[in-house]
Amino acid sequence: MARIPSLKSLNAFPHAEEHLLKKTYSGAVVTILGLIIMFTLFVHELQFYLTTYTVHQMSVDLKRGETLPIHINMSFPSLPCEVLSVDAIDMSGKHEVDLHTNIWKLRLDRYGHIIGTEYLSDLVEKEHGAHHGHDHGNEHHDEQKKHEHTFNEDAEKMVKSVKQALENGEGCRVYGMLDVQRVAGNFHISVHGLNIFVAEKIFEGSSHVNVSHVIHELSFGPKYPGIHNPLDETSRILHDTSGTFKYYIKVVPTEYRSLSKQVLPTNQFSVTEYFLPIRPADRAWPAVYFLYDLSPITVTIKEERRNFLHFLTRLCAVLGGTFAMTGMLDRWMYRIIESVTNSKTRSMPRRLQHEQYLAREV
């Protein structure tokens, strides 16, 4: 029993008697204000705790023998679907006979509305040898000689059909997926699939081929939260000119690890672009080239959640600080109101004495 008084002296939270506590209107206002602030801060801290954040790590890319998916979604408002082809080649110039492709072409009217569909199952591939797809001036020259005498009735019908489509303002939307080898290479969309004589009959020269285009989407794998593909919704419209567009793409292998420990392999990329106008002496035909190369570095993005103990620590600090500040504010307001009230009560007797003195003099 002798230890009880000494133990009570250590109490950091002494309690006053109920009849000694004084409740004021200013204290009620400060209390309500403090509760609102604490509730707001609590909601903010809870949202901050529930939201995830990402951690980026880099390592050397060790993948081998895999394929690279390329998702394409582009519109060509000035070229009909009959003249467009998709060509692909890797760095070595090797002919990929087993290349998997799934490309669709949608016919568009002059207002961009779909008027027809065509499945492009025969992906055109050419072997460019040591040029690696960068010297395009003579890439079809040999083939064109072979077809020199093949301009027949079918070609005539095609020329009439394409000219009619051009007069009607038809365009084409190309979308789908290419599955290429995981090495540097390029793919391009152009009129290179046409016989040279057919192309000359239709366009009357390469300078009349308008490769204006809109890239609705271009990606190298599935999307993950927060990814940004820099070419999405890119528009390049030509007026009274023609030429070749080249997009130089650096593909960065990426792994996205979610909170559920699932791994999503994909790719990010950066891009620079270059436009080469067609000159009268050029023998090359306009096209849109995408020349890609792979980075040797893999980026791993981990999705993580904040520590619960960290959340409790922040919550106690915020709520405790708010409670302490409202307590200080309440004491300051109480003292100010008390001082104002006391000054008024002191001035009242002096006024009464002065009035009584004046009454006596009268």
Is the pLDDT higher at 340 or at 265? 265
Residue 287 has a CB neighbour count (10 Å cut-off) of 20
pLDDT of residue 163 exceeding 50, the answer is: yes
Summarised one tens digit per residue, pLDDT across range 294-336 is: 999 999 999 988 888 988 998 899 888 888 888 888 788 777 8
- Residue 137 near residue 287 (C-beta atoms within 8 A): no
Is the pLDDT higher at 179 or at 15? 179
Q: Which of the given ranges, 78-82, 250-254, 331-335, has the highest pLDDT on average?
A: 250-254
pLDDT for the residue 137? 44
Residue whose C-alpha is closest to residue 191's, from 88, 77, 278, 86:
86
Residue 333 has a CB neighbour count (10 Å cut-off) of 16
pLDDT for the residue 71? 93
**Distance, CA of 42 to CA of 120 (rounded, Å):** 57
- The structure tokens 């990929």 sit at 96
pLDDT for the residue 124? 43
> Can you tell me whether residue 21 is helix, strand or coil?
coil
Residue 294 is encoded by which pair of tokens?
């792979």
Give 250's pLDDT tier (boundaries 50, 70, 90). Answer: very high
For residue 314, report the phi and psi dihedrals to the nearest 5 degrees.
-65, -40
% of the chain with per-residue pLDDT over 90: 24
Count H helices, E strands: the chain?
Answer: 6, 13
**Distance, CA of 288 to CA of 282 (rounded, Å):** 16
pLDDT for the residue 305? 87
pLDDT of residue 54 exceeding 90, the answer is: no
pLDDT of residue 143 exceeding 90, the answer is: no
Averaged pLDDT of the chain:
79
**Distance, CA of 124 to CA of 281 (rounded, Å):** 26
Q: Which of the given ranges, 62-76, 133-147, 211-225, has the highest pLDDT on average?
A: 211-225
Task: Report the Cα 217 to chain-centroid distance in Å.
Answer: 11
Residue whose C-alpha is closest to residue 220's, from 270, 174, 172:
270
How far is CA 297 from each of CA 67, 154, 253, 290, 325, rounded to the nearest angstrom? 17, 51, 7, 21, 51
